[in-house]
Every structure is written in structure tokens, then in C-alpha cells.
Amino acid sequence: MKSGRHFLQIPGPTNVPDRILRAIAQPTIDHRGPAFASLAREAIAGLQRVFQTTGTVVIYACSGTGAWEAAFANTLSPGDAVLMVETGHFATLWRDMAIKLGLHVDFIPGDWRRGVDAAAIGRKLEADRARSVKAVAVVHNETSTGVTSDIAALRRAMDEAGHPALLLVDAVSSLGAIDYRHDEWRADVTISSSQKGMMLPPGLGFNAISAHALAASAVARMPRAYWDWQPMIRDNAAGFFTTTPAINLLYGLREAVCMMEEEGLASVFARHARFGEATRRAVKAWGLELLCARPEEYSSALTAVVMPDGHDADAFRKVVLERFDMSLGAGLGRLKGNVFRIGHLGDFNDLMLAGTLSGVEMGLAAAGVPFTRGGVTAALEYLSSHIS
């Protein structure tokens, strides 16, 4: 038995604040009764504000993977061409899903250190004279790499190409942590889930849906049953769900939105950006390498750190867990053993970041990883001179 709290510093699931835990702990109610109808309407309206949309939002009892599938199933038909970009592990998994669903994927290769190249997508779409590409599907904040892509620039490139393809965006690790503007950026489907910036346990998947996507769903021929938007939209209008909803997580979702709006969404995003910069200053002071290659693409939600040659990131993470009771994110896919990830999103403050970085610095020493001391000091100096 270890004393003190466990530091959960993976980039999701994230720490669930006490207010949300208390909200989730309320007695389960009748999901066909008037109290639930009020809860559902409030949860959906709150989620619209976080997505920054006045359009349709659908909530599923699922993970982000389910919300991925819902986006494809409702907008596309078997054999449709989809343009995707290899920005990291989750972009690759989403590609794999598309192939399994019978879609034809043009997967633009990447080095997992850079985000979406909007100009490259624009050129692909300009060359598509037959308009065979039906959707562009990209990850906004790649959780495996700590790289954030510029969705506004991507939308501009699509507009300049004059192409009618749908824009599908994974915002699983950005919603509630990084400024994301569904309506302004004219995303057609934005996918997210509950367990990262939204500060909830896993179990809710989200689709924010444009009018263009709703029109596409009317003619799409992908088989769908559970994932079908239309019954959900019909029943949500009265405050109900087509299938049994995750009632207690909806209590938590309503509370999460209240917390974020009390702080102010702009302040939430600024807080995350501040923690991201402090973390990167610590990494640079340690003499370690950031995985993200471009400063303009640094993530505010997490930082991926490259291990020095000859040192295994998983062995380092094991030392940190056993010695200091802190969980750091593993390298995923082809990054396994080569990077570790520091999550700094969700319910998170200055002292929690200071403790996290102290655990990393002590862990580097305990694991015999070559580094220069002073990373924590560099982060604290930044935090103290940039008060939120």
C-alpha cells in the first residue's frame, strides 16, 4: 500500500475531478422520465457550446473508436474514396478501420513528427477532377505524438480546391483542452469522447454534425444500426435516447461543462497552452528531444519526449511507476520504447504539473537516463512569470 495519491499523467483517461465524481454518483433515474429528458437536453446543449457549434451533436455510449465508426457509417458508402494522413498511431488506426469498412483510402505518408500538410491535401483534391474523394479524415491533436494540426488551414485548402469532400476531424484529445471551432472551421463531422479534456471516465463518444453531413447521411449506403444518427436525432429532440444511455456519465458531462464555463473556455485553452509550454521548457532543460518537430504544431494537451539512444522508454516508465507511483504515457505503434508521453490536460493545475515534472526528473535519475538537471526549475520559472 502506497501513501499519497497516484499521479495519472497519461494523455487520457485523465484525472476525474471530485465535482464530476459526485455528479456521477447520483442515483440512476428512469431514462424515459421527465428528469432524464431535462438532463439529456442540458448535456447536449452544453456539448454544443464546447464544440462551438449550433448544429447537431449526438452522444453514444461508446469510446472514441465507436464515434469514429459512426462518422464513417453515416456519411459514406462502401467503396467510397477517403483521403487520410499518417500523422501518428491513431490516424493509422482510423485508416485501418476505414479499410475494414470497405472504403478505399489514400493514406498520405508521414513521419509521425509533423501534422497535416494542408497544401498537400489541397493538391490532391485539385487533381481529383472526377470528384471521387468523398471525405478527408484527419486527426486534430494526435495523442500518440503530441502534434496538433491546423484544421482552419485545411478547410481553406479544401475551399481553394473547390472540392465538395466532407471534412471529418478526430478531436478526441483536443476537445475541452485546445481551441476547436466546429462551425467556424466548417468541419462536417467532429469526433470526440469523454475521457480526455472533458474530464470524465471513458464511456461517451460524440459526433458534432454539419448540415452538409446530415445531407450526405440521407444517401449514404454504409450499413448502420446502432450508429445510425437519424433515430438518435429524432429521440434527442424530446430529450431521450434510442438505446439505453450512460445516464450517470451524462450527469458528469453536464457538470464538466459547468466547470469549464465557470472558468471560461478561453481560459481553459490558455491554461492548457501554459502547461504545454512549461513542460516543453522542462524537456529542453533536461537536454531531451521533443518528438513534435514544428513549434507551431506543439500540443497543449500532451508532450511526447524522445528517449536518448540506448535507453528504453518503457523501462523508464516502469521505474517512475514503481518508485514514484506515477503513470506516464507509453510510446504507441512504431514509437514503442522510443518515447514517453506526459499528459497535461483536463483537471490540472500548477502544483500538479510541478509534481509531475518532479517525478519525471527523479525518474530520469533513478533510471540512469543521461540528462541535465534543472527541468523542473525551468518550468517553475515559466509558470511564475506567466500567471494565468
**Containing H/E element for 173?**
none
Cell 478561453 found at: 266
CATH code at 29? 3.40.640.10
Same domain, 60 and 107: yes
Same domain, 243 and 376: no
Same domain, 254 and 378: no
pTM > 0.95: yes
1 falls within a domain: no
Same domain, 225 and 243: yes
Same domain, 239 and 279: no
Q: What contacts 256, CB < 8 A, 6 or more positions away?
A: 20, 176, 198, 199, 200
CATH code at 309? 3.90.1150.10
Cα–Cα distance between 42 and 36 in angstroms, integer? Answer: 10
232 falls within a domain: yes
Same domain, 294 and 234: no
Q: For the chain, what's the residue count?
A: 388
Same domain, 68 and 209: yes
End-to-end CA distance of the chain: 36
Same domain, 303 and 225: no
Number of domains composing the chain? 2
Same domain, 314 and 188: no
Cα–Cα distance between 234 and 62 in angstroms, integer? Answer: 19
Cα–Cα distance between 203 and 205 in angstroms, integer? Answer: 7
Q: What is the DSSP letter of 25?
A: T
Cβ neighbours of 170 (radius 10 Å): 29
**Containing H/E element for 57?**
strand 56-61
> pLDDT tens digits, the chain, 388 residues: what are they?
789 999 999 999 999 999 999 999 999 999 999 999 999 999 999 999 999 999 999 999 999 999 999 999 999 999 999 999 999 999 999 999 999 999 999 999 999 999 999 999 999 999 999 999 999 999 999 999 999 999 999 999 999 999 999 999 999 999 999 999 999 999 999 999 999 999 999 999 999 999 999 999 999 999 999 999 999 999 999 999 999 999 999 999 999 999 999 999 999 999 999 999 999 999 999 999 999 999 999 999 999 999 999 999 999 999 999 999 999 999 999 999 999 999 999 999 999 999 999 999 999 999 999 999 999 999 999 999 998 7
Last residue of some domain: 229, 261, 293? 261
How far are the Cα atoms of 43, 142, 295, 346 from residue 231, in angstroms, in the given order? 18, 31, 43, 32
Same domain, 255 and 270: no
Last residue of some domain: 261, 276, 309? 261
77 falls within a domain: yes
Last residue of some domain: 234, 261, 288? 261
Q: Give me the domain span that covers residue 317.
A: 7-14+265-385
